[in-house]
A and B are shown apart, each in its own frame.
Chain A
Amino acid sequence: MVGSLKQARVAFVEAPIGRLVNLLVILAVLYVIFILATKILAQGPSYFLQILTYGVANGAIYALVALGYTMVYGIIELINFAHGDLFTLGGFISLFLLPIFGADASKAGTAGIILPLIAVFLVTMLICGAINVSIERVAYRPLRRAPRLAPLITAVGMSFVLEGLMFLWKGPFNLPYPNLLPTTGIAIGGATIGLKDIFVIALAAILMVVLALFVSRSTLGKAMRATAQDQDATELMGIDINRTIAATFFIGAVLAGAGGTIFGLYYNTLVFDLGFSAGLFAFTAAVFGGIGNIQGAALGGLLIGLITAMWDGYMESTWTQVIIFAILILVLVFRPTGLLGMRVPEK
């Protein structure tokens, strides 16, 4: 069958229409890059630097969420639609925790904010992790051997449930999130890079490095990689699959919770259904980088953030989402494994 499908694929790619489509796509991409380049040159370097910083900070948040998608997909091949809402929930929980730990606006931008913020981050991440583990236990584990559509629809249902809970908690409005980070910046060649941006990028980078080290060095990380490759064989090696999968959900949610908190601190606003579009973007990032691949998710998140920022900054921002999803489709058509994808999908 591999032969016949390969033939079909070859027939498509080599057919004149297929070749024409390839050519058109390449031309369109080159044209867009050309337009973008002329606009960047026309606007000058300081504006470009500003956009770039914004893009990297934005991309760092997407990357944190994308990691959760990619890890869960890597291990049980489930598109966890509820993950984006967990990200929002992280923001909501931290918003609730801020006054409890004494991180109020009076300390904004001072050294006194650091300890309370660390506490808020840790507790938010733990709560999110616990919630995601319980969701996995209740909603996904019983369906692990069911037809594949069942857990997918359950995930959508869980997404509605989480959104419903947040709606119930805070109502349908945009919530103000206190601006606690310093508003000053460092001047570099005419442009100022905010300390806020640096904080977001640094924190996301630290979390991702820790995660990458954890997965590549620790025993549990090894168990995760083994489970992702072959569940049955892993079980035969005496590894508790349920525990490993629960740990994956926990880590994904920890990152999402951190991402939600960072989002709140960076944008100073939250809304209950934020997770839907943010989740889709993060998922696109995961696919872009190569789903199931941790470095890929980080790279994909960064690229999606950059593309969003460039398009928002230089082109019409109404088309940004269309561009992102068009990229998603093009990547899947021309390189289904993603940019860094090493897992070979069955085609």
Chain B
Amino acid sequence: MRRLGSRLGSILESDPRKNPNAVVFLLLALGAIAFPIGVQIVTRGSGSFLISQAADAGVYVLLAIGLNVVVGFAGLLDLGYAAFFAIGAYTYAFVASDHMEFTPIHQAIHIPFWIALLVGMFAAATAGAILGAPTLRLRGDYLAIVTLGFGEIVPRLFRNAATWTSGVNGISALDTPALPIWINGPWSGDAFAVVQNFKIIDPLAYYVIMAILVAISVVLVNNLRRSRMGRAWMAVREDEVAAAAMGVNTVGVKLLAFGIGAAFSGFAGTFYGAKLSLVSPENFGFTVSITILIMVVLGGMGNIPGVIVGALLIYYVIFNILPGLPQQAADFANSIGATGLNTPSGDWPGLSGEVQRLKFLIFGLILVLTMLLRPQGLLPSRQRAEELQKGVHEDTVIEDLNAETT
């Protein structure tokens, strides 16, 4: 939490006119601190579920931040980002559970969560580099298709290689993160005591870990963006030709963007595996990749606070509003006296069933409408907003294939 504090300090000192994001960052940080307190007050101490859900939302925030490096900064369209997420989660499953005993290795591996975070990060980043090295010389759509193919292959690989991954069943009973030492006290409802190997079970603890991870990631990405590398990414994004002419090693720069972007999803994957204590190949499909991409685009590509807000918003819509909608529709029908709507008859599955069936449709419509009404995203980066206002058309993410060659 000290890190968060110093971060707040530095934001307060900076001039908001110079950095309009500072206000948003400050609001986000305050929101992150106020959220668990507020939830506990509103729900009278039974808000664990919401806090746990917020920690899950954090996984998507991390993923969106990582994908933003690839898509928003370097302008490389990645349609298979969930693959790296899967690699991170499975890496944690391999190195922190009894599972390895049932594979040809016959030896369980238990690496502490904190080290596994780094292992997962490196595994995902390596996968990114391996995929990127031969394919990053491709441009635009072609790269998108390669990543799409990769994103389809990886979950199937995990499903089919059953000797190593136990196939469709996935790997369960992953290690719970533990602190080597912790002090119990009145705050946890116990007497004062020093506990060794303290297992983290409380949703609030996961929430705090997630908040710290997100804060670290934000600081890292913010610094990356301002670094020489970040400027090179943006140069490549805006005009690869000009960037190469200015001496930017375009392939190397793109490879780094790919690897760093993948590293964040490795982070997210490890946390996801540890919190859920289960990984299954079904959780990393194309829908996940698309959801993350939508978070980035809807929030405002290239702008970190925008991406965070986009991720939280989409997560809230998909995992909170849409699942709750059928029940609310049924309650509403009851409250206006139209109880007949709720009884299933013949082809009519009842109002809640019908709304349940509407979920796909609603999500699709949200996507189409936001793109039609606000293609630049909710909080676009200042540079992008200006470009759009001046009417500069730029093919940033997918280059025009025929621009020069035909």
Contacts and interface: CB of A to CB of B under 8 A. Distances in A.
A124 interface: no
A153 B371 contact: yes
Interface residues of A, number: 61
B399 A346 contact: yes
A154 interface: yes
A143 B375 contact: yes
A171 interface: yes
Given A139-B368, A168-B358, A333-B146, A149 B137 contact: no
A97 to B, nearest CB: 19
A157 B244 contact: no
Nearest to A139: B368
A160 B362 CA distance: 9
Interface string A262-298: 0000000000000010001001100100000000000
For B140, B393, B406, the residue with the greatest tally of chain A CB atoms inside 10 Å of its CB is: B406
Given A21-B134, A329-B150, A346-B399, A164 B362 contact: yes
Contacts of B140: 148, 346
A140 B375 CA distance: 12
A164 B372 CA distance: 19
A35 interface: no
A280 B152 contact: yes
Nearest to B139: A346
A318 B160 CA distance: 7
Contact of B367 (A156, A162, A165, A332): A156
Given A149-B301, A345-B405, A157 B364 contact: yes
Interface stretch (B56-64, B114-122, B290-298): B290-298
A237 interface: no
A326 B154 CA distance: 10
A18 B134 CA distance: 8
Given A8-B251, A344-B406, A326 B362 contact: no
Contacts of B139: 345-347
Contacts of A33: none
A346 B397 contact: no
A322 B161 CA distance: 11
Contact of B240 (A1, A143, A287, A322): A1
A104 to B, nearest CB: 21
B164 interface: no
A284 B372 CA distance: 28
Contacts of B150: 325, 329
B220 interface: no
Interface in A123-167: 139, 142-143, 145-154, 156-165, 167
B12 to A, nearest CB: 34
Given A230-B406, A319-B160, A5 B371 contact: no
Given A147-B375, A149-B77, A284-B149, A157 B365 contact: yes
B146 A332 contact: yes
B133 to A, nearest CB: 8
Given A147-B395, A332-B145, A156 B290 contact: yes
Contacts, number: 185
Nearest to B251: A8
Contacts of A347: 137-139
A230 B402 CA distance: 9
A160 B134 contact: no
B357 A168 contact: yes
Contact of A9 (B137, B245, B401): B137
B361 A164 contact: yes
**Interface of B (DSSP majority class):** helix
Interface in B5-43: none
Nearest to A292: B401
Nearest to A73: B141
**Interface of A (DSSP majority class):** helix
B376 to A, nearest CB: 8
Contacts of B358: 164, 168
Contacts of B244: 1, 4-5
For A158, A329, A333, A346, the residue with the greatest tally of chain B CB atoms inside 10 Å of its CB is: A346
Contacts of B142: 332, 336, 345
A34 interface: no
A333 B363 CA distance: 34
B152 A325 contact: yes
For B135, B146, B404, the residue with the greatest tally of chain A CB atoms inside 10 Å of its CB is: B146
Contact of A160 (B149, B349, B364, B375): B364
Given A229-B402, A346-B405, A329 B146 contact: yes
A227 B148 CA distance: 27
A328 B216 CA distance: 37
B394 interface: yes
A110 interface: no
A321 interface: yes
Contacts of B250: 4-5, 8
A5 B393 CA distance: 24
Interface string B152-169: 110011011000000000
Interface in A298-331: 316, 318-319, 321-322, 325-326, 328-329
B403 interface: yes
Given A143-B375, A158-B364, A329-B150, A171 B138 contact: no
Contacts of A158: 364, 368
Interface string B247-279: 001110000000000000000000000000000
Contact of B365 (A161, A230, A336, A343): A161
Contacts of A328: 145-146, 149
A295 B134 CA distance: 28
Given A4-B245, A154-B371, A276-B286, 10 more contacts: A5-B137, A5-B240, A79-B145, A147-B396, A156-B367, A161-B365, A164-B361, A329-B135, A332-B142, A333-B134
Interface of B: 71, 77, 133-135, 137-142, 144-146, 148-150, 152-153, 156-157, 159-160, 240-242, 244-245, 249-251, 286, 290, 293-294, 297, 301, 349, 354, 357-368, 371-372, 375-376, 393-406
Q: Which 6 A-B pairs have the closest CB atoms?
A: A164-B361, A157-B367, A160-B364, A164-B360, A161-B364, A1-B241
17 contacts: A12-B133, A21-B134, A149-B297, A154-B367, A154-B371, A157-B368, A160-B364, A162-B364, A164-B359, A165-B361, A168-B358, A171-B357, A276-B286, A326-B153, A329-B153, A344-B406, A345-B139
